[in-house]
Chains A and B, each alone.
Chain A
């Protein structure tokens, strides 16, 4: 992709009189030398794989470590039987984020978006919108182009791997991508999308990558929930006309600077943060013995 700034995409949208997602689609057609149909078909198959991954959740399954599994099912029965603080839609989002994260930990097939550790964020908002709110398939596909454009700019300017920049780079990026998709689904423009991205990333700035025992389980799965919730609130703020004082591209650059200064113990090495707590060390020891 040729865009290295969200500002560039905004400008193309303005001069060409097109929407954010079209700017990303046209660029994909140009850079990969594929037809429009080919590009959309690839996106459609990713979307179908995401739906399938959602269907394949098994609440009775546990990860190999035994640390996680079943929480997505627990959340689902809770919101079906109780009056939740978050209301039914948000509760569905929470359950979906947990379910996808747990499927990933159980070595099931998922769609990385942008990474596997953050694979629950995007489907957490898109699946309930598609299934419960009747958002059209076509609209979802468009919004996936929006997410791809956002993710690509972040990958170019900063990073998307926890080992490189901490969880802010993984769940932070996924959250930014999801917020852009949500803004588009509700008819927001490129400027609003950029503002949603800026706000989501700012909210998760500095988040470290500290997986217990090196597994993409604790705290990763529940962080998919915060990624999705953050996306929803920032999308609503952007749609309300609220803007980020710091422009999105500068927020992305700040995220990179923070990630670069982050100690190596907080970048997926499991040497710091939650991974260095006494409980986590105990688990690590127990799992090493099981080898």
Chain B
């Protein structure tokens, strides 16, 4: 968290948690999918479900999925823009156990069988936390460049990833490992101090036992007037 998470962001109103944070969640989700989704199933939980419409949370999530940032003046018009761009979306309510009041679950699909399920919370002042990825518990903010590697839970993958990063002089800020069961489906979430080069991501994708690699680098808001 930096002082510019407290002062700022420069954003379209009316709510930093319900509007700006929601745009950010949508944006990170679409960056992780790497394309604009063709279909989005949006499930609102808690306060997002109770008061989301009045705050434009619905339009904000869709705006983010379309690639807009929280200061985009077109956020109020995102439904119309989605229609023009051919992105279908469906909004409903859900009750997720033990989730933060401002939580949304997104199920996204795009061309070439691209799929992503992501659960994230807007925790105030426009800051967000991604707490579930394809059904596995995670915990990251998307504030730093973040590399997410999905792999089979077997020896060697962590070493492959860290040595690839070290080779490119990318410093690891934080690293988290998750799995559904021993020998099952594993996810590593690595936040870095430098951006991860595209070629490293391509290299990792081709390694045996690595199922999927996603990378998000949503730079901190650039304050342009």
Contacts and interface: CB of A to CB of B under 8 A. Distances in A.
Interface string A250-291: 000000000000001001111100000000000000010001
Given A46-B8, A116-B19, A116-B20, A108 B223 contact: no
B209 interface: no
A112 B125 contact: yes
B159 interface: no
A147 B7 contact: yes
Contacts of B224: 45
A277 to B, nearest CB: 16
B3 A269 contact: no
Residue of B17, B46, B124 ringed by the most chain A CB atoms within 10 A: B124
Contact of A214 (B9, B13, B50, B75): B50
A46 B10 contact: yes
A42 B10 CA distance: 11
A15 to B, nearest CB: 21
B55 A111 contact: no
B13 A114 contact: no
B14 A107 contact: yes
Contact of B1 (A119, A152, A264): A152
B3 A145 contact: yes
A156 B125 CA distance: 12
Nearest to A211: B51
Interface in A35-92: 42-43, 45-46, 48-49, 52, 63, 65
A108 B10 CA distance: 10
B1 A268 contact: no
A270 B6 CA distance: 25
Interface string B123-145: 11110000000000000000000
Interface string A151-168: 110011001111110000
Contact of B13 (A65, A104, A163): A104
Nearest to A122: B7
A160 B6 contact: yes
Contact of B10 (A107, A111, A161): A111
Interface string B80-115: 000000000000000000000110000000000000
Contacts of B9: 111-112
Interface in B29-87: 46-47, 50-56, 71, 73, 75-76
Contacts of A111: 7-11
B101 A119 contact: no
Contact of A163 (B6, B12, B71, B124): B124
Nearest to A144: B7
A31 B173 CA distance: 13
B54 A105 contact: no
Contacts of A164: 101, 123-124
Closest 5 interchain pairs by CB?
A: A214-B51, A161-B124, A104-B13, A148-B3, A151-B6
A149 interface: yes
B13 A216 contact: yes
A49 B10 contact: yes
B17 A161 contact: yes
